Amino acid sequence: MGRPKAFDRKEAVRTAMNEIWLNGYEASSVKALSETLGITRSSFYNSFGSRENLFREVLQTYSEQSPDRALGKIGKGNEVLRAVCQVFKTVCEVRAGDPDHRGCLAVNSLTELVGKDEGLSCVLTEAVRASLDRFERLLLLAEENGELIIENRQATALALQNLLFGINVTSKVVHDSESLWQSVKLSLKGLGIYKLSFDL
């Protein structure tokens, strides 16, 4: 009942995601976003309530398609470490392969917004915590599998997070996938995560 929307909401969120990914959050005004979406500001406010609200949806959508989402799908049955390394390699490839060198939307948003926007800082911080927890969980899983022994699991998880952030920044400037991966492989090797037998 009522008049139906003249646009597809999910697609709109994806479009908005790309706009914000490319230009940044603050640079993406309601006016600009509305124009890109081909709707009026009126419809924008009606559909999304506010720009911040839309951005929360965008982050959700992003997390479902980011190259590190695969970390969440590694289960007990797998060779955990190999799978983790494969994800890191994929991140290198995806970031280097992006013709616009946009890096990671989450990292970009983190550096842009944390400390400036009250509400969004919160969401982004929580996302990082979740990622850290995920790394810790994976390390624990690998330990249980007898794949490695670790002295300080929390510190190792943080080191992996540093590495992931690092690639995502570096890839804005270093566009060669192989160089990126070689350096990441060294770091993973050093942490005991990458094994020569993986041959990635």
* Nearest one of 142, 177, 175, 144 to 160, comparing CA atoms: 142
Residue 30 site contact among DNA, a second copy, none (CB < 5 to 8 Å, cut-off depends on kind): DNA
* Minimum CB distance to a second copy smaller for 128 or for 141: 128
Start-to-end CA distance of the chain, whole Å, equals: 55
Neighbours of 199 (CB within 10 A): 6
Answer yes or no whether residue 4 interacts with DNA by CB under 7 A. Answer: yes
Are the C-beta atoms of residues 83 and 135 closer than 8 Å to each other?
no
Residue 29 site contact among DNA, a second copy, none (CB < 5 to 8 Å, cut-off depends on kind): DNA
Are the C-beta atoms of residues 7 and 55 closer than 8 Å to each other?
no
Answer yes or no whether residue 167 interacts with a second copy by CB under 8 A. Answer: yes
Answer yes or no whether residue 139 interacts with a second copy by CB under 8 A. Answer: no
Please state the closest distance from residue 40 (CB atom) to DNA, in A: 4
* Minimum CB distance to a second copy smaller for 72 or for 192: 192
Answer yes or no whether residue 96 interacts with a second copy by CB under 8 A. Answer: no
Site for DNA (CB under 7 A): how many residues?
A: 21
Query: Between residue 14 and residue 53, which ones bind a second copy under the rule CB under 8 A?
Result: 22-24, 26-27
Give the Å distances, CA to CA, from 34 to 22, 30, 52. 16, 6, 14
Contact residues toward a second copy (CB under 8 A) are 22-24, 26-27, 100-103, 107-108, 110-112, 114-116, 124-125, 128-129, 152, 154-159, 161-170, 172-174, 179-180, 182-187, 189-192
